[in-house]
Amino acid sequence: MSTPALELSGLKKSFGKAEIIRGIDLSIGKAERHAIIGPNGAGKSTLFNLITARFAPTAGTVKLHGENLAGLEPFQINRKGLSRSFQITNIFPKMSVFENIRCALLWSNGYKYSFWNIVNRQRQLSEQADAILDQINLLGRRDLPAGTLSYAEQRALEIGITIAGGADVIMLDEPTAGMSHSETDYITDLIMKVTEGKTLIMVEHDMGVVFGLADRISVLVYGEIIATGKPEDVRGDAKVQEAYLGAALEEEH
């Protein structure tokens, strides 16, 4: 078996006395679309933040393509090919939509901290950015300040920024949160399109999205994964039914 794209082992995180993540072992293969679901407060976003080094884990390791990420800064992890989006929209609001994408392209195109290239002159860079804008259907909004976009458009832009760098592991944190049905469909299609051939890890509440997208699903409850497997297996899992789906249904009504 080849090295998994992302491998978590014994991952734990405590804030003071509160143990939020209580030992997670998870292995996600290459080009797999993996969804993490679970009730509110289960620790999904915390798990994301642990993987991307936004928080330091209390114990355990995160391996990307077999390489231990311990002690690395977020930007170093990103350079290794892991990119993420955020639950709360996290874009550059004062810059134009085009600029948002272009910034996301700079590092992977090898520009690094250069101050001898004028970005406007790099035609290939602009073409790439426009191609991504086309992919996320924001070409028409190209020169607007990103902060003035609608919510769904901003979420789309966020996904665009996340994938632009060409990372092969993409992590999306609730990409459809707070969206209407039509917007959700639009985003789901978009995710489908842009993560073709890449490893996708997403946290999501909308079961429609989850079951439509994911190859495999993990269920996180109180900082522990109680089930991992194919969508239909998880759906049928009694533990999951009891711990999560029931609660979720109750919540909805």
Partner 1 sequence: MNEQLKTDPTKPAQRMRAGGMTITLLPWIIAIIAMLLLPKIFTNNSALTIMNQMSITIIFALAYNMLLGQGGMLSFGHAVYAGVGGFFCMHIMNMSDFFAAMPLPILPLFGGLFGMGLALIVGAFSTRSAGTVFAMISLGVGELIAASSVIVVAFFGGEEGISGDRTYAQPFFGVEFLQQEEVYYLTAAWVIISAALMYAWSRTPVGRMANAVRDNPERAEFLGYSARWVRYYSFVASGFFAGVSGGLFAINYEILTEENLNAYSSGIILLVTFLGGVGFFFGPIIGAIVFTLVQTVLSLQTELWAFYAGSLFVATVMFFPGGLAGLIMMHVPAIKLGKWRLLIVPYFKTLLPAAIGILGLCALIEMIFHYRHGATGDNEMTLFWTTFDSHTIMPWIIAGAIAAIGIGIAKMTAPDLKDAWNEANTMGGQS
Binding residues for partner 1 restricted to 4-63, rule: CB under 8 A: 52, 54
Binding mask 181-220 for partner 1 (x = CB under 8 A): ----------------------------------------
Is 157 or 240 the residue whose CB approaches partner 1 more closely? 157
Residue 158 burial by Cβ neighbours in a 10 Å radius (0-12, 13-18, 19+): buried
Geometric angle at alpha carbon 171, from 165 and 36, rounded to 5°: 170
Closest alpha carbon to 175 in 43, 48, 55? 48
CB of 100 to partner 1, least distance (A): 8
- Under the binding rule (CB under 8 A), the answer on residue 99 touching partner 1 is yes
Candidate residues 9, 14, 58, 108; the one interacting with partner 1 per rule CB under 8 A: 108
With binding defined as CB under 8 A, does residue 140 bind partner 1?
yes
Residue 134 makes contact with partner 1 by CB under 8 A: no
Q: Report in angstroms the alpha-carbon separations of 200 from 51, 144, 160, 187, 251.
A: 13, 29, 14, 14, 28
* Number of continuous H segments (helices) and E segments (strands) in the chain: 10, 10
Shortest CB 123 distance to partner 1, Å: 14
In sequence order, what are the residues at sequence separation of 6 or more whose Cβ sits closer than 8 angstroms to the Cβ of residue 211? 231, 235
Q: Restricting to residues 154-183, name those near partner 1 by CB under 8 A.
A: 161, 165
Identify which of residues 4 and 160 has a Cβ nearer to partner 1 in the complex.
160
| DSSP 8-state assignment for residue 62 | E
Is the CA virtual torsion 100, 106, 107, 112 positive or negative?
negative
| Residues engaged in binding partner 1 (CB under 8 A) | 52, 54, 73-75, 78-79, 83-84, 86, 90-96, 98-99, 102-104, 106-108, 111-120, 140-145, 148, 161, 165
